[in-house]
Chains A and B, each alone.
Chain A
Amino acid sequence: MAGYAVRRLLTAVPLLALIGFGAFMLTFMIPGDVAATIAGESATPQRIEEVRRQLGLDDSALTQFGRWAGGVLQGDLGTSMIHRIAVTQMIGERLGVTVSLVAFGLLIAVLVGVPAGLVAGLRPGRWTDRLVTVLTTLGLAVPAFWLATILIIVFAINLGMLPATGFVPITENPLRWLESMILPGLAIGAASAADVARQSRSAVAETVGRDHVRTSRAMGLRPRSVVGRHVLKNSGIPIVTVASLQVERLLGAAVVVELMFAMPGLGQLTVSAVRARDIPTIQGVVLTIAVVVILVNLLVDLSYAWFNPRLRKR
């Protein structure tokens, strides 16, 4: 298993290189001139050219990529052209917000989605199943920003129970961290919970009809172990798969929700970096996200082997 993980991580290296290269070339397509931005509002054309030269922006895209990649190989993601702060430091500060948000959204998705899918899937066609179906359809149809708006109006502005904006690091104050996570977490987690519920429902409904579940019942196992052990573990692969797909959805939704809740996360950093065409920052974020997604995928793959021993022989 460990060998497999190492091999997977090694194959991720060329993938990361490809992503890094692709993202680099894409940033060249973003209109704008970072040199003009950096030189300031009143800069003369000469000054702008000078800044271009200083930043090496007059070199070819390939040369610039080579320089960037060389730095990355030495663990240096470069310095933000705009903020003049190390990209690793900026990302480090922001990662906590986005990871909190995505993890919280995922937690909501799993804690709500799996039980809902279970209740619906164990008794297909019942009123509980129909209720879950209606709720999942709603959940998938409602955009995160809309839900966020409603949640803010109701819980932050009218009831004053939870903050409307801001992020508190968990290391600073766990309770206030939790308070700051609830509304944005719900806003981005709702659609994911609906998706997880839907997939769990069909996975559970399929599993529950399998012969081996009947065997478990015939052996007198309690419903708790029949459902909790045998049904869930055998529905695990589709459920984990859909949950892992949520990471992607949640990252996308986080960009919007971070802005709405004024949370200094990666999404917000990306927006401002793209706006300013701050290449090292954009690249750093893209690489970070790619690494996160690759790690998530690896964990998911390893979990497949746990759910389905047949896959362990690889």
Chain B
Amino acid sequence: MAHPIRSALAIAVSAALVAACGGGGGGGGGGGGKGPKADGTVKNVPLASGFDKDGEFSWGYTIEASSLDPHRGTSGFDQNWLFPVYDRLVYAAPDGILKPMLATSWEAAEDGGSVTLKLREGVTFHDGTPMDAAAVKTSLDRARDDESVVKSDLATIQDVTVADDHTVRLALSGGAGAILGALADRAGMIISPAAIKKGGLDTHPVGAGPYTMVDHKQGDRVDYGRYGRYWDPSVQRVAKMTFRVMSDDQTRLNALQAGELSMALIRQNQVEPAQRMGLNVLAGESPTFYAFTVNNARKPFGDRKVRLALNLAIDRKAIGEGLLDGFCTPQIQPWPSTSWAYDEKLGAGLDKWPHDPARAKKLLAEAGYPKGFTFTALTSQTTGIAAVAEAVQAQFAKVGVTMKIKLVDASQKTRMFDVEKSADAALISYSPTPDPQGVLDRQLLPGAAGNPGRKASDEVVRLAGEAGDALDPDDRAPVFHKIMAELIDYVPHSVPICMQQRTEAFRDGVSGLAVNPAGSRDFRGVAVTKGG
């Protein structure tokens, strides 16, 4: 007879095993092959002529949205599910340039103390409520309340005021440029005020985007249908979209092959198999970084020589191009090459922090550790980061430093490293916000959640304030280049190893695709041909 305790245990154990083996959200597992293999992939697919206006686009992704409420969802990958429904105030185009969306124009005050946004007229939410300044205020205020997960993105907003029906003014404590970047992401998604009042946004999103949510089967799929009163019908190139949850990597490939999906996230080691099946592969900056981070308030990481030595011990090329098959670009800049903040002159920067074990050893000796030292690094078991950690471990061993690896859950890493500050170091993967300011806010500045040691270069702190004020990327870029130079000199507690590429396979006939600079999936303007 089946015993209930045994059965309950059996399913729990099966589940735990599957949970341990499966991948996380956007992270990519590494294959064991040699040399870059990113051949035959494309970075974007221009719109094909003769696409099917009644077509249906379906996409398979690893994890479902934790919630369809932009302000409440706990996962950093929720926005993928939200983009079709929610238009943002500002649109971050694939080239990283901010363009009008619900806001048609914006202007910063001379003193940088506020930004004024002009709103698009004649726009209505899916429930018929007009999109106006009051609605924007309601939405932004909600995005800044205590329960909001995007609160910190809007931390510089002091107040939102309705100037007239279609004008809102954001009073800022600084960082006018940075705030616009944030408004292109989840924090800038504008929700129908009537729907906020009604509640139920976790499962019934109501925005002003090109598609309405038609059906939501938790753990399975979200179906979207074309919104008839959308302000820009030219981007509504398919009649229906379906996003499906398929946490198993092979399953997504199967579904693509069987024609049950138009497109799906694939792992880097699936690129070749997918191409052999006749699928096309989109590969581009994701940008999810693999990074090595220490608590610089703990010994011996407060010492710049030690941090530099560890940096020189890491062989970024071997990891990105060898271990990860060329699907992780080795670089030391913490933003993608597509970002305006990226310093083209510096490039990957591998000459600044070259792989130089001999010099690393010398530095360690100078710092008083001729025989090296031992420390423990946390790493998550849910993404490909574990393989990277092992490679780093071997590279450190070559300079006499013993790094013990402790596999923990991502949330446990947050608890031990960020909150309790009880861990020496961690190998992490992080996705910056569309605006490079986010990297500073979340990782590098003394108050950043990812900086438990609370130490940073004073010069970086000063420059960060300066960089946030300007609105125009052209004005901000030079400041970010200076920040980068200062980071190289200071050697911060957190340094990138390589930047992952996002890989997606798609069937013939899918077009109008481009890689979103924030690494998230916005299928705005996607099209399919008949039978595609």
A and B touch in their complex, CB below 8 angstroms: yes
B245 near A262 with CB under 8 A, answer yes
Q: Which of B407-432 contact A (CB under 8 A)?
A: 408-412, 414-415, 418-419, 430-431
B8 near A23 with CB under 8 A, answer yes
A43 to B1, CA, bound (A): 49
Q: A15-B4, A37-B411, A269-B219 are in contact. Are A43 and B14 (CB under 8 A)?
A: no
A269 to B220, CA, bound (A): 10
Q: Which of A43-93 contact B (CB under 8 A)?
A: 43-45, 47-50, 82-85, 90, 93
Q: What's the interface size class on B, roughly?
A: 35 or more
Which chain B residues border A251 with CB–CB below 8 Å? Answer: 7, 10-11
List the A residue with the shortest CB-CB distance to B413: A36
A297 near B12 with CB under 8 A, answer no
Q: Which of B2-25 contact A (CB under 8 A)?
A: 2-8, 10-12, 14-16, 18-19, 22
A305 at the interface (CB under 8 A from B): no
List the B residue with the shortest CB-CB distance to A287: B8
B104 at the interface (CB under 8 A from A): no
A248 near B76 with CB under 8 A, answer no
**Which of A22, A30, A84, A163 has the largest count of B CB atoms less than 10 A from its CB?**
A84
Q: A164-B258, A241-B1, A275-B19 are in contact. Are A259 and B11 (CB under 8 A)?
A: no
A277 at the interface (CB under 8 A from B): yes
B12 near A290 with CB under 8 A, answer no
A96 to B14, CA, bound (A): 20
A41 to B450, CA, bound (A): 10
B72-99: CB near A (< 8 Å → 1, else 0) gives 1010100000000000000000000000
Find A248's partner among B2, B12, B255 (CB 8 Å cutoff): B2
List the A residue with the shortest CB-CB distance to B247: A259
A262 to B260, CA, bound (A): 11
List the B residue with the shortest CB-CB distance to A16: B4
A93 to B411, CA, bound (A): 27
B203 at the interface (CB under 8 A from A): yes
B244 near A262 with CB under 8 A, answer yes
Find A290's partner among B8, B60, B63, B408 (CB 8 Å cutoff): B8
A164 to B219, CA, bound (A): 17
B156 at the interface (CB under 8 A from A): no
**Which of B2, B66, B244 has the largest count of A CB atoms less than 10 A from its CB?**
B2
B245 near A260 with CB under 8 A, answer no
Which chain A residues border B19 with CB–CB below 8 Å? Answer: 271-272, 274-275
List the A residue with the shortest CB-CB distance to B382: A275
A34 to B8, CA, bound (A): 22
B441 at the interface (CB under 8 A from A): yes
Distance between A196 CB and nearest chain B CB, rounded to angstroms: 14
B411 near A36 with CB under 8 A, answer yes
Which chain A residues border B283 with CB–CB below 8 Å? Answer: none
Find A33's partner among B415, B442, B447 (CB 8 Å cutoff): B415
Distance between A150 CB and nearest chain B CB, rounded to angstroms: 12
Which chain A residues border B259 with CB–CB below 8 Å? Answer: 160
A271 to B251, CA, bound (A): 16
B246 at the interface (CB under 8 A from A): yes
B149 at the interface (CB under 8 A from A): yes
A165 near B251 with CB under 8 A, answer yes
A12 to B8, CA, bound (A): 14
A157 to B418, CA, bound (A): 46
B7 near A248 with CB under 8 A, answer yes
Q: What's the interface size class on A, roughly?
A: 35 or more
Distance between B484 CB and nearest chain A CB, rounded to angstroms: 21
A131 at the interface (CB under 8 A from B): no
B218 near A83 with CB under 8 A, answer yes
List the B residue with the shortest CB-CB distance to A149: B250
B14 near A256 with CB under 8 A, answer yes
Q: A42-B152, A45-B418 are in contact. Are A82 and B12 (CB under 8 A)?
A: no
Q: Which of B163-219 contact A (CB under 8 A)?
A: 202-203, 217-219
Which chain A residues border B217 with CB–CB below 8 Å? Answer: 93, 264
Which chain B residues border A36 with CB–CB below 8 Å? Answer: 411-412, 414-415, 418-419
A59 to B513, CA, bound (A): 49
A45 near B419 with CB under 8 A, answer yes
Q: Which of A160-176 contact B (CB under 8 A)?
A: 160, 163-167
B437-473: CB near A (< 8 Å → 1, else 0) gives 0100110000101000000000000000000000000
A262 near B251 with CB under 8 A, answer yes
Q: Can you list 11 A-B contacts with CB-CB less than 8 angstroms, sorted by A residue number?
A: A12-B4, A33-B409, A35-B415, A41-B149, A43-B449, A83-B202, A152-B258, A163-B258, A255-B15, A260-B250, A262-B244
Beyond known contacts A259-B247, A262-B248: 19 more, CB 8 A cutoff: A18-B5, A19-B8, A33-B409, A40-B74, A48-B414, A48-B415, A50-B146, A83-B67, A164-B251, A165-B244, A165-B260, A248-B2, A248-B6, A260-B248, A264-B245, A267-B14, A272-B64, A282-B12, A286-B11
Residues on B facing A (Cβ under 8 Å): 1-8, 10-12, 14-16, 18-19, 22, 60, 63-64, 66-67, 72, 74, 76, 146, 149-153, 202-203, 217-220, 244-248, 250-251, 254-255, 257-260, 382, 408-412, 414-415, 418-419, 430-431, 438, 441-442, 447, 449
Residues on A facing B (Cβ under 8 Å): 12, 15-16, 18-19, 22-23, 26, 30-45, 47-50, 82-85, 90, 93-94, 149, 152-153, 156-157, 160, 163-167, 241, 244-245, 247-248, 251-252, 255-256, 259-264, 266-277, 282, 285-286, 289-290, 293-294, 296-297, 300-301
Cβ-closest 5 pairs across A and B: A32-B409, A40-B149, A264-B220, A264-B219, A36-B414
